[in-house]
Amino acid sequence: MRKMFDNYSDTVAALSTPPGKAALGLIRVSGPETFKVLEKIFKYEGKRPFPRSFSSFFGYIVEFETGKKLDQVILFTYEAPNSYTGEDMAEISLHGNPTIIASVLSELFNHGVRQAEAGEFTKRAFLNGKMDLLEVEALSQLLNAPTKAQASMALNQLEGLPSALINKLREKLVEQLVQLDASLNFPEEDIESLDEKLLAHALSETLDELQLFKRNSQNGSLVSGGLSIVLAGAPNSGKSSLLNALLNKERAIVTDIPGTTRDLIEENFQIRNIPVRLTDTAGIRKTENLVESIGVDRAKAGIENAFMILALFDSSEPFSAEDSDLMNLLESFNKPFLCLLTKSDLPFKIGEEPFKNHKTIKISSQTGHGLLELKDTLYDFLKEKGLSELENMIVLGAKQTASLNKAVYLLERLLESMAKGIYQDMISIDLEEIVRELGKITGQTVDFNSLDLIFERFCIGK
């Protein structure tokens, strides 16, 4: 087991369930003093020895000084290293009354236990080698996942497959490095001289695998936030009506007054198993109204940040100057968009000419005409981008992405230089750096200064 930090000597506790009134609450305690403190304030009847690994005890938390019972609880004990954090740990399941919870916590704090910081249990798990950084990232995604698909992707990563892959590639490189260093340092010994062609071949295989990993992680980050699909169009083109029709609820206000929507309205949505984030925007037009013009700016920013755009055109009206402005705006972004000709239940007046270079779908939010075709088209499009294969996706934090990109870049550069012929000691230096970067992805090599940033995103109690 990797253990990088030995002087984590204090014991911490926190409420791990949401604060407020509930049937039950759960307080976690972790650290070397856990059982010593609980022996003072936890009273139970029965003959079983306390503590024991993976056991539960029924009893009372009492005020140490007076012996007064604070609550009837079930206490779970985990002995190091077989716990979430890898330390001695206990979970007190008690009644979810904020007053009781506060008094139990303060009893713990009276005995030298400290309030845990956000993410501290997980940080301890990492420092004790219980989790690597890919798993930490997966956990954070799992806790925040808004849809089932995102949760299953995170769970898959938590089971450690991506970590195993990175570790395998890293170990392969370490082996090659050892071989290389051996032939460099002991040229006269009976060590097979290094076959550079073979090495280059092996390295390019590793590069292929890393590049695939990179693609999967790019898709992963798109998915984890939900693929952003933005509804754009001139005022009154029917954006809010389409949002409501897709979500099957009256989410956005719909009126026949152009300029109804002002702010961005975001909702999570799934197209089959693909999580998307749908955003309704203000109709884009030139306007003197301050509030509306802020909305128009937000709409434009939304388009810029979108994964793809659904462009709406009111087909019951002739193609307007505003429609044409929107078309020009969309064509200026290098981003996929789909033209929706709305209000197909009314007479068709917009004409086919403006759309001759683009894919169009005729829809009516009022009758539901074309909505199925829209979903199918979106699904095919997202699938084509490789996004339906959720089980292959990986979620990386910003630092991990940077390390992955650096490793790929260094490996590409190394292969180029090897093709031109470089000294073997230069190869060795490059390989070492690549190994180090890969180690940063899983946390094998770690920059301690960046750890706080990674863990403080978690809630207190996790």
Ligand X SMILES: Nc1nc2c(ncn2[C@@H]2O[C@H](COP(=O)(O)OP(=O)(O)OP(=O)(O)O)[C@@H](O)[C@H]2O)c(=O)[nH]1
Is 235 near ligand X (CB under 6 A)? yes
Which of Mg ion, ligand X, none has residue 237 at its interface (CB below 5 to 8 Å by kind)? ligand X
Among 11, 217, 279, 364, interactor with ligand X by CB under 6 A? 364
Is 344 near Mg ion (CB under 5 A)? no
Shortest distance, CB of residue 75 to ligand X, whole angstroms? 56
Which of Mg ion, ligand X, none has residue 345 at its interface (CB below 5 to 8 Å by kind)? ligand X
8 A C-beta contact, residue 352 and residue 227: no
Which of Mg ion, ligand X, none has residue 439 at its interface (CB below 5 to 8 Å by kind)? none
In which element (H, E) is residue 74 found?
Answer: strand 69-78
CA dist 155 to 135, 357, 460, Å? 9, 42, 21
8 A C-beta contact, residue 385 and residue 229: no
Among 216, 261, 279, 442, interactor with ligand X by CB under 6 A? 261
Beta bridge partners of 314: 342
Shortest distance, CB of residue 280 to Mg ion, whole angstroms? 6
99: left (phi over 0), alpha (psi -120 to 50) or beta: alpha
8 A C-beta contact, residue 340 and residue 361: yes
Strand order in the sheet with 69-78: 42-44, 55-62, 69-78, 89-95, 24-30, 12-15, 114-115
Is 343 near ligand X (CB under 6 A)? yes
Within 10 angstroms of residue 182's Cβ, the number of other Cβ atoms is 14
Q: What is the size of the binding site for ligand X (CB under 6 A)?
A: 24
Q: Could you give the dihedral angle defined by the CA atoms of residues 3, 453, 164 and 276, in that order, rounded to the nearest 10 degrees?
A: 160
Is 240 near Mg ion (CB under 5 A)? yes
Shortest distance, CB of residue 227 to Mg ion, whole angstroms? 21
Is 237 near ligand X (CB under 6 A)? yes
Is 24 near ligand X (CB under 6 A)? no
Q: Quick one: which segment of 93-101, 236-244, 342-350, 448-456 binds Mg ion (CB under 5 A)?
A: 236-244
Shortest distance, CB of residue 327 to ligand X, whole angstroms? 16
Shortest distance, CB of residue 298 to ligand X, whole angstroms? 12
Is 302 near ligand X (CB under 6 A)? no
Shortest distance, CB of residue 369 to ligand X, whole angstroms? 8
Beta bridge partners of 163: none
Is 125 near ligand X (CB under 6 A)? no
Crossing angle of helices 148-158 and 161-185, in 10° steps, is 40
- Tell me how far apart the alpha carbons of residues 184 and 428 are, in angstroms, rounded to a whole number: 9
Beta strands in 260-387, from DSSP E residues, in sequence order: 265-271, 274-280, 308-314, 337-342, 360-362
Which residues, 246 to 285, sit near Mg ion by CB under 5 A? 260-261
DSSP 237: S
Shortest distance, CB of residue 322 to Mg ion, whole angstroms? 14
Which of ligand X, Mg ion, none has residue 462 at its interface (CB below 5 to 8 Å by kind)? none
Shortest distance, CB of residue 302 to Mg ion, whole angstroms? 13
CA dist 55 to 51, 83, 89, 333, Å? 8, 12, 11, 60
Q: Quick one: which segment of 200-208, 235-243, 392-400, 434-442 binds ligand X (CB under 6 A)?
A: 235-243
8 A C-beta contact, residue 132 and residue 161: no
Shortest distance, CB of residue 232 to ligand X, whole angstroms? 9
Which of Mg ion, ligand X, none has residue 342 at its interface (CB below 5 to 8 Å by kind)? ligand X
Q: b/e map of 45-70 (b: 16 or more CB within 10 Å)?
A: eeeeeebeeeeebebbbbeeeeeeeb
Among 86, 220, 275, 283, interactor with ligand X by CB under 6 A? 283
Give the nearer residue to ligand X in terms of CB position, either 286 or 413.
286
Shortest distance, CB of residue 282 to ligand X, whole angstroms? 6
Which of ligand X, Mg ion, none has residue 285 at its interface (CB below 5 to 8 Å by kind)? none
Strand order in the sheet with 265-271: 265-271, 274-280, 227-233, 308-314, 337-342, 360-362
8 A C-beta contact, residue 279 and residue 306: yes
Is 365 near ligand X (CB under 6 A)? yes
Contact map string, positions 196 to 225, toward ligand X, x by CB under 6 A: ------------------------------
Q: Which among 400, 404, 438 has a CA at the least distance from the CA of 138? A: 400
Question: Where do contacts with Mg ion occur on this chain (CB under 5 A)?
Answer: 239-240, 260-261
Residues that bind ligand X (CB under 6 A): 233, 235-241, 254-256, 258-261, 282-283, 342-343, 345-346, 364-366
